[in-house]
Amino acid sequence: MACEVERKYLHVNFAELRSHLQKQAAVCLGRHFERNVVYETDPPSFCQQKKLLRLRSCFWAERTPQYVLTFKAPAAQAEALQGFKVRREDEVFVSSAESMGAILEGQGFVPWACYEKVRETWQVSAVSVVLDVLPFGRFVELEGDAVAIDALALTLDLAEAEQSTQSYAALYRDWLQAMGKSWQASFMFSEQERKAWTERLGIYDLPELPRLCSPSLESCLQGAAGV
């Protein structure tokens, strides 16, 4: 059982951050298009327990797609690490998103939400730095040891940036409220945005969007499961 420790930074200038990363001899691991399908029980129970079951598909140009099944749950270390998002995280790579999805549905899980992002990953020693573009904003995540995250944030001039320990689902909920929009479980690019990003990344064989079974999950908003 692994433990995920991370912190998000909001309203960061990506160009300036890349410059700081290069000065730190950070290694850029590339950029990819990402699609995530969140599975729930029927009736839903994971969100109320602050659990997450997610099937992630990552797409690169001229590279085999990567599929990862992830389970997240509350972690005992969370109380001791204030100011960080701390979650139990167990992951396994799978060879086919379609087959894994069929297995999950065969076990009674339902695909109830989907979210997309464009992710650019850098590595600085043991800390992962990701620059995420989502349909509702741009965010930076630092993941690794808590002390190392704090030290690197100072080096990258992130210490004064707005910080968050919320999941993307919770940040999306807040954005919808601020924009006066009704709640939605999924956050995906528009067809035009998706086409622009995939062409920019050199990806031309993106699968069709998944078919979701989305009941009314207002109770999940209270749980804000860790997307």
Q: Mind listing the pLDDT tens digit for each residue in 125-177?
A: 999 999 999 999 999 999 999 999 999 999 999 989 999 999 999 999 999 99
Length of the chain: 227
Could you give the percent of the chain with pLDDT greater than 90? 82
- Under 8 Å between Cβ of 8 and 85: yes
Domain 2-204 class in CATH? mainly beta
* Helices within the chain (DSSP H only): 14-23, 97-106, 146-155, 168-178, 191-201, 218-223
Task: Tell me the two tokens of residue 187.
Answer: 């956050």
- Under 8 Å between Cβ of 52 and 132: no
- Under 8 Å between Cβ of 168 and 87: no
Q: How many CB atoms are located within 10 Å of the residue 187 CB?
A: 23
> How many angstroms separate the CA atoms of 144 and 4, rounded?
7
Q: What is the pLDDT of residue 218?
A: 52
Choose the weakest-confidence range: 20-24, 185-189, 215-219.
215-219
- Mean pLDDT value of segment 66-90: 91
| Cis peptide bond prior to 43, omega within 30° of 0 | yes
Q: How many CB atoms are located within 10 Å of the residue 82 CB?
A: 9
Q: How many CB atoms are located within 10 Å of the residue 81 CB?
A: 16
Q: What is the pLDDT of residue 223?
A: 46
> How many angstroms separate the CA atoms of 95 and 225, rounded?
26
Sequence-distant (≥ 6) Cβ neighbours of residue 210 within 8 angstroms = 35, 37, 101, 111, 114
> How many angstroms separate the CA atoms of 222 and 225, rounded?
9
Pairwise pLDDT comparison (219 vs 5), residue with the higher score: 5
Opening angle at CA 136, ends 94 and 174, nearest 5: 100
Strand stretches in the chain, DSSP E: 2-10, 27-40, 52-60, 63-74, 85-94, 110-124, 127-134, 137-143, 162-164
- Under 8 Å between Cβ of 118 and 33: yes
